[in-house]
Structure 1
């Protein structure tokens, strides 16, 4: 398995009605977070201990909240906030 990102919880539902330009910005930043997590956690499947604290990322048109789960090699986008609604 390799590192990926995906929407989690209600963010997936919210993404269905968000503008495409906003979602493109979210996806671009999520890809960057995946690359950073992959570089930082080379042995993700063997990780022991706590996962790193997630955070908020501001993108044009809104923001999103993410969480990194190292053992699953995933970056989850758990909330999106689009100001264009």
Structure 2
């Protein structure tokens, strides 16, 4: 099921920062960081149900599995392109 039109595919659904996903940029999923990085269930559980499986989270949010903070709590300074 595609994401709603108001939800740009290149933005993380948890924090709204760029997710650096190749598929979101129209590229091939092979070699994309998001295909090779395990995402903890705790990270996905913090997303609204409608956002799960629709857009990739960014690397900072993906690595933030132990944080008890709500969605959107990823630090923008921790973001860096993975590609």
- TM-score category of the 2 structures, normalised to the smaller one: under 0.3
Larger helix fraction of residues: 1
Higher Rg: 1
Q: TM-score, normalised by structure 2?
A: 0.27
Greater percentage in strand: 1
